Amino acid sequence: MRFADPKQSDTPSLCGRNGYGLWSAPRTKIFGKLSKLLPSLLRPGTGAGSRARSQTCAGGSLIEVIMSLAISSISVGGIIQCYLMASKRVEWLACSQAANNLASQRVEQVRAAKWDPMAFPSVDELVSTNFPTVISAFDMPSTGNNQIYGTNVVTITTISVNPPLRMINVECVWQAFNRGLVTNTMTVYRSPDQ
């Protein structure tokens, strides 16, 4: 790189000779001429090499600042969007787990029903009419009027008469936030009491 004034080409500037920077110059040159550089470091635009500094060490332009702001805002916007998606997903998973708990409670109630065909007289409480549809609130913390409810529907089907075997199907239907109805299903098999 050529300087306009030959006298200034021998004097190191803040950017150093050939535009490589002050710290890339040999140490003996840096420390030997530090006293000459000190005024120019304290007051920009004055001292030795100020014209060379303005040519090789120009600051960032407005375009660069705008582009860096655009990249930063896109990054921050992406982080916020990921956080919002994660919080919605966590809330949906909590509701799905609460629906599973309601279905599990209903399955345990149906499994506790007495079914003993060998007894005298025969006892059979394991029929669908003994377990009507129940609407229950989810076991979740809620504030105000945002309680979520699930509808439990029990279906009991005879699979085999000999050996006796029945299938118990419990469906918990609940309203998702903006996704329509969601159904959590639990199915178990049961044989009679012995």
Contact 184, 100 (CB under 8 A): yes
Mean pLDDT, the chain, rounded, equals: 79
Confidence band, pLDDT 50/70/90 cuts, at residue 143:
confident
Query: Helix, strand, or coil here: 103?
Result: helix
Give 145-179 pLDDT, tens digit per residue: 888 899 999 999 999 988 899 999 999 999 987 78
Average the pLDDT over 129-135 and give the result: 93
Cis amide linkage into residue 141, ω under 30° from 0 = no
Residue linked to tokens 């916007």: 77
Supply the pLDDT for residue 35: 55
Phi/psi of residue 142, nearest 5 degrees: -145, 155
Entry pTM: 0.61
- 157 - beta bridge partners? 167
Domain ranges of the chain: 6-56, 92-190
Average the pLDDT over 127-134 and give the result: 92
Contact 114, 191 (CB under 8 A): no
Nearest by Cα to 155 from 189, 181, 131 = 131
Query: Helix, strand, or coil here: 31?
Result: helix
Give 69-109 pLDDT, tens digit per residue: 999 999 999 999 999 999 989 988 999 999 999 999 999 99
Give 9-20 pLDDT, tens digit per residue: 454 554 544 544
Give 59-70 pLDDT, tens digit per residue: 678 899 999 999
Contact 154, 167 (CB under 8 A): no
